[in-house]
Amino acid sequence: MKKLILVRHAKSDWPEETDDFDRPLADKGLEEAMNMSRFMKNNNISIDYLVSSPAVRALNTCKIFNQAYQLNIGTDEKLYNPSENNFHSVIYDLDDSHNSVAFFSHNNGISNFANSISNDIFHFPTCGVAGFEIDCNSWSEFDGAKKKLLFFYEPGKI
């Protein structure tokens, strides 16, 4: 069994003269990410590898989660402005030694991808987290594997 955890970046700011890629987290986003990462860690949600979009707001969300988890972080540009196929591509690049992986990415791509692998329909708020159990032993089996939603957490409801 593998676990895939999808995390939408926390609430961001958009200062004047700032490109989309370089948008920082807002104060509320910093708080959301700290609260969500602590909540997940305190509820024994295991993660053994983190992969983030390199965009500032996603990577900073990932780094805040890593304060709780203390893991290696990878970045993949395919998680910035992603299509569903981008997620599949990143999944197929994962090492099979990782059993529980968290992706930090953006809407609308992350919501579209989650809805494509689940019968549950949901829209990710900022710092929303969905966890899926993937019935496979290798990430290369992801496409044909049975997928089950384990949890969906929203920052305002934890």
In a domain, 158, yes or no: no
Q: For the segment 50-105, what is each residue's pLDDT rounded down to a tens digit? A: 999 999 999 999 999 999 999 999 999 999 999 999 999 999 999 999 999 999 99
Give how far the C-alpha of residue 54 lies from the chain's centroid of Cα atoms, to the nearest Å. Answer: 12
* 108: region left, alpha or beta (phi > 0 left; psi from -120 to 50 alpha): alpha
Residue 22 neighbours by CB under 8 Å, 6+ apart: 55, 56
CATH number at residue 6: 3.40.50.1240
**Count of domains observed in the chain:** 1
In a domain, 66, yes or no: yes
pTM: 0.97
The answer to whether 57 is a known ligand-binding residue is yes
